[in-house]
Structure 1
Amino acid sequence: MEILLWLVPSAIATVVAMLWVGWLGREGRGEVDRDVAVRRLAGALEPDQRRRRPAPGYAAPRPEPDRSTGIAVRPSRRAS
Structure 2
Amino acid sequence: MEILLWLVPAVVATAVAACWVGWAGRERSGDVDREVLAQRLAEALQKDLPVGYAARIPERDRSTGIAVRPSRDPRGTGSSGRRAS
TM-score normalised to structure 2 length:
0.40
TM-score, length-scaled by structure 1: 0.41
